Structure 1
Amino acid sequence: MKTLFSLFIALLFSMVAMAKDTDTRYYEMRIYYCHPGKLPDLLTRFRNHTTKIFERHGMTNVGYWVPVDNKDNALYYVLSYPSKEARDASWKAFGSDPEWKTVATESEKNGKIVAKVVSVFMNLTDFSPAVKAQAKNPERVFELRTYTAAPDKLNDLLSRFRNHTFKLFKKHGMTNVAYWTTIEKDGAQPKLVYILAHKSEEAGKASFEAFRKDMKWVKARDESEKNGKLTEKVESMYMTPTDFSTIK
């Protein structure tokens, strides 16, 4: 009886610890498309002012990147908040901040910097590594991958990542940085969005080549797709971290 009670207490503490460790933060990926020639001005504004003002208003800077092939003059970055309500309150306070208003006016004396802003709201998956600052190697490149699952196949796709893909990526020299599912409007099926880190773009492509030939992956893929393919579309983009990014 005592042993059963001890096991029950241990299980209870384990469940509490797991609940405590669950990342329930509200994430937002923001993509800023700059007017021609204005990306350096945007990066300077973030480096010297914006990131600090974000933190002051309760936003957590997760990471900042620019695409390797940056034809759109874009900056990609991720913020986190305690909740959606906290996010909305933080952005309202940020927009009213006197320092931000001064910075925005001063930085745009020679014209507007940002042409368009896109926001993607996300939740962390249960198999994602902890999202935290990393300064492992400023020479690393990152890969942003977005998967559009086939209808009603997202859970199967997530299961495959949780049970197989995640570990096989690591086996082939890829660093799992973070995994999210998007929050879509009107009840649409979420997408899987994740970031990997590689020693270089060439190393990343070589790792994926080895991964695709791995018989464990082939078996896992074939088993999971007995009733049809799990993905409709896979998008990949290589990025480099900015010098002020919290993840490098």
Structure 2
Amino acid sequence: MKKSISLFMALLFTMAAFAHKQDTRYYEMRIYYCEAGKLPDLLTRFRNHTTKLFEKHGMTNVGYWVPISNEQNALYYVLSYPSKEARDASWKAFGADPEWKTVREKSEENGKIVAKVESIFMNLTDFSPAVKAQKKNPERVFELRIYTPGPDKLNDLLARFRNHTVKLFKKHGMDNIAYWTTIEKDGAQPKLVYFLGHKSEEAGKASFEAFRKDPTWVKAREESERNGKLAEKVESIYMTPTDFSTIK
């Protein structure tokens, strides 16, 4: 009987792991750079209208963040879709929605709100936690990190994260939120994009300092970089979630 229960539990674990790895949703991180003084207007429009219209047209709101140091008046957010085709159809329907047109026109009576929009398309990695709503701590801050791998180093970088880095982040008090690789045009090598959660910006920096000194990390880094550095460039942006973000 005990053996049967053990086999059953192992099967459930395997099925759960398989189901997680099969997250084939098409993700998009969008960055809106606002005209001077217009970020509050953009946030109001998202809070009262845009997020609901996204859901109406089959888009899933993953999370919304504003950089702590925000000289560019930017809003970062992530959406998910069943597929690229579904994404394109949803945005076409959203753009043609009379309700959206009315909202946009009314919100821009005193001037244009958004100066520029950037889109980054992404796939979830096999080692990422499941992407879902989180409301752990109203004071929690988030860190967006973007790694540009060296030539032909992406797989090595992902292996290091899969086998070592993610576990060590958790050990040092960082919350692993989600990990993606970008979908690049013309066959260019993808980047690694991920979010971490911290109790505060100061706590995040202290955690990274402890992480970098960890002997396990030092060994993993040295062994993985015998043939050269894995990341040519690392970008880090500390952010706070908006009040309407599904991840806080």
* TM tier, smaller: over 0.9
Give the unaligned 5+ runs of structure 2.
Answer: none
Which letter does structure 2 place at the counterpart of 1:68?
A: I
Which residue is 2:19 aligned to? 20
Which residue is 1:97 aligned to? 97
Which residue is 2:74 aligned to? 74
Which residue is 1:42 aligned to? 42
Please give the secondary structure, in 2, of the residue aligned with 1:142.
strand
What are the residue-to-residue correspondences of 1:117-196 with 2, within 5 Å? 117-196=117-196
Which letter does structure 2 place at the counterpart of 1:20?
A: A
TM-score by length of 1: 0.94
Give the unaligned 5+ runs of structure 1.
Answer: none
Which letter does structure 2 place at the counterpart of 1:97?
A: D
Cα distance in structure 2, aligned partners of 1:237 and 1:45: 24
Cα distance in structure 2, aligned partners of 1:161 and 1:180: 12
Cα distance in structure 1, aligned partners of 2:19 and 2:130: 13
Do structure 1's residue 197 and structure 2's residue 197 form an aligned pair?
Answer: yes
- Cα offset, 1:15, TM superposition: 6.0
- Change in Cα spacing, 1:244 to 1:229, as seen in structure 2 (3 Å) is same
Please give the secondary structure, in 2, of the residue aligned with 1:131.
coil
TM-score by length of 2: 0.94
Give aligned pairs, total: 243
Cα distance in structure 1, aligned partners of 2:33 and 2:157: 31
Cα distance in structure 1, aligned partners of 2:226 and 2:15: 37
Cα distance in structure 2, aligned partners of 1:18 and 1:170: 19
Cα distance in structure 1, aligned partners of 2:12 and 2:240: 41
Deviations along 1:211-243, one digit per CA (max 9) or x if unpaired, are 000000000000000111101000000000000
Give the % identical residues: 82
- Change in Cα spacing, 1:13 to 1:207, as seen in structure 2 (3 Å) is closer
Which residue is 1:56 aligned to? 56
Cα distance in structure 2, aligned partners of 1:112 and 1:42: 10
- Cα offset, 1:154, TM superposition: 0.3
- Cα offset, 1:20, TM superposition: 3.1
Please give the secondary structure, in 1, of the residue aligned with 2:47.
helix
- Change in Cα spacing, 1:244 to 1:189, as seen in structure 2 (3 Å) is same
Which residue is 2:230 aligned to? 230
Cα distance in structure 2, aligned partners of 1:12 and 1:134: 28
